[in-house]
Structure 1
Amino acid sequence: MTGRDQDARTADEADEAFQIWEAQVSAAMLPASTDPIPGFRFFGTIGAVVSIPDLTIVNSASAGHVVRRTARHIARSNTEMVSAVITTAGTKPIYTDGVTTLMVPGSMVLVDSTITMSIRIEDPTSSVVVNVARETLFERSGLRRDAFHTLLRTPVAVGPEGLAVSEYFRSLSAMSAQFSTEAATFASYGIDLLAAVLALRAQTSPLSPSVTAHARERVRSFLNANFADPMLTATKVARAVNLSRSTLYRITESDGGVSTILRKIRIAHARRILATHPFATVVDIATACGFTSDRQFYRVFRAETGSTPGEYRAAHHHPPTP
């Protein structure tokens, strides 16, 4: 075999190695391309060590290459993620839209998969990478969507407030080899921790599922107790249950918002009165249920139930139980 043949085979083997590496990176993380850096030795290992719904923890070690995520890769992706890159050894820069963020040992950088970026890895580095479903992280963060998007428009280099969180994920990565079930159980709390990190950066408070559920219950309890107030507004509700208006809107959005919940509560109460109090007038019912006039009550009731108050009473009236 001539020297030229040997060089050609070596080049082919290098191309094959990079194709394999690119496929491994795309499978463990998100679609991306990789290219060698001339003059630097390449190696790479990557694999998920913890995988649960909406979160994976990946261990990665590599050198001598550039990872690029372009608009083409973003368009091909079926999922959107936010990655917390926790560097455990080596140094590497990440370039996004004219901004350079240096990742050094002990640092944690949050990177949004919906932005283009490149990472240049010359010398050996290793990382623990936590991938979280972007929409889930948004829901847990308690941030407005525009604030969430703005915060992640460039990589977020987490300061001292993220040290405990990065150590948490490094510990999960280490324990997964021997205690995979336990690591997966503990990892389920990781999304809330990253949401808290984002919320702290935005100087707001994160809402975990349990906190969100409790807040929704407070809102419903307050509305059930105060629906008869015709001057009840979202601002009054938010103040009464100690929430910001933006948070109030977010946690009630799935139910149509505060006004929809309040309207349904008022109509449900009106139905009960119509079914059990045959002599209650429309004006009396409108007042008891928090409507500003009998005309408004009549219009809303018909839109909600498909019948007028009189028609509903005729079809559903039954005497109250003694």
Structure 2
Amino acid sequence: MEDFKDRLHTIRQEQNKLLKEYQTLIADYEASDIILENEVLRKKFEDYQARCIHLEERVRHIEQENGKLRTALTEQMLSEKANMIRISREKLETYFASRTAEGKNRLTSFEYGAKNRVDQLIQQTTHELKEDQDEIVARLRLFSEEIRDRIMEQRVRFQEAERQLLHQTASEFQQLGEEEIGEETMQKRMKQNQFEMKLGLNWINKLGILLIILGVGAAFKYSYSNWFTGNMKGVAFFLLGALMLGGGEWLYRKQKQTFALGILGGGISVLYGSIFYSYFLLEIIGMYTGIGLSVLVTVTAVLLSLRYESRTICSFGLVGGIFRSFLIWQPTGWKGTPCISPWAICSC
């Protein structure tokens, strides 16, 4: 019995030893740099795989939008091409009609002139040549008929040449209309449209909003010296900023995104300027009220920029908050406390 007990004890010790060795191997395995690196790489692979799926969806969406844009651009170019061909055809038809009428008038004038001259010769012959009157009159009449026949032949040739020319011109216009638009032409037109959109919808839009902001500042300055009371001025320009925000929202819902974002950014800038003037120039609000309103406008600008995913609103809000103070510069110095406005700091 003792031997069996010793054997069990020995087996137990060996099992404990094997368990410790197994735990050591597991610890070494977990502490191995290769294993850790493998785990990191596996996580990165999963992350990249998810990003790849997301990018594939975006690429597919962009390809669909690109196809729609290319179709719209092709339709636009075809419409413009057809319009140009139609206008050119109308101009040519008008030109040919005027020139044809002029040619016909010249032929008619020549015919009438020839007939008049022949009639004059007949009358002159009647008076001067009594003896050979019949013979000469017959010859003159034959000559008159020959002139008339040649004029008729000339008219027929003229009409035939006109018909052939108009038919050839119409065929060339039809061929131009049936020609497909090449890739090079489409790329040139796309670059032209991009330049026009960047200039007309981006820079000019921002320039117009900036001029509105400068005009609001000038109106503040003028009204401060001439018109309403301080409270009326402050309320009026706060109301103007709110109306610009409302107008921007209305334009955005009407699918006028570019102009809407500019109006919204201008409204944020006007609100910043209203707070600045109300505190430093009009002195109708206190410092803490101004700071509170500034924080409120800044939060509004952030929320609007996140909602519309627009850097334009942020840029106009930032510019309006920082540079609005330059609009009240006086020859004698700053009209108010010469310090950095708190809403400019908040906007940063």
Q: TM-score range by the shorter chain?
A: under 0.3
| Structure with the higher helix share, 1 or 2 | 2
Instruction: Name whichever structure is richer in strand by fraction.
Output: 1
Structure whose CA Rg is larger: 2
Compare relative contact order (CA 8 Å, sep 6+) and give the higher one, 1 or 2: 1
